[in-house]
Amino acid sequence: MKIIFDKFAHLELDDASEYYELEVPGLGARFKVEIKRGIRIIREYPKAWAKEKNGVRRYLLHKFPYKILYSIEEDYIYIIAIAHCHRHPDYWIDRILKKS
């Protein structure tokens, strides 16, 4: 199934990756590998992960305190946010309203 990123989800991915890379060289690249792994698993088993709110599902990363928030659309999977698990819950809700 096709994957489509919200433009802000891409920015979140880049920001988190840059932050980790500044903290420890190579950690940003490992973060991106974890995200790619998560997206690959979501693509294979889109309905396997718990719903967060409003039908939005969440995939928790194993090695970083982040989650991939996504919705399953008719022809694609929409990545809404790459969100830190402990900061500003629900900040991404407006994205699902704008997408419609």
Residue-level pLDDT at 100: 44
How do residues 18-37 score in pLDDT, each as one tens digit?
999 999 999 999 999 999 99
Domain assignment of residue 95, given as a range: 2-99
As a three-state string, the secondary structure of the chain is: CEEEECHHHHHHHHHHHHHHHHHCCCHHHHHHHHHHHHHHHHHHCCCCCCEEECCEEEEECCCCCEEEEEEECCCEEEEEEEEECCCCCCCCHHHHHHHC
Count: domains in the chain: 1
Model confidence pLDDT, tens digit, residues 39-95: 999 999 999 999 988 889 999 999 999 999 999 999 999 999 999 988 776 666 667
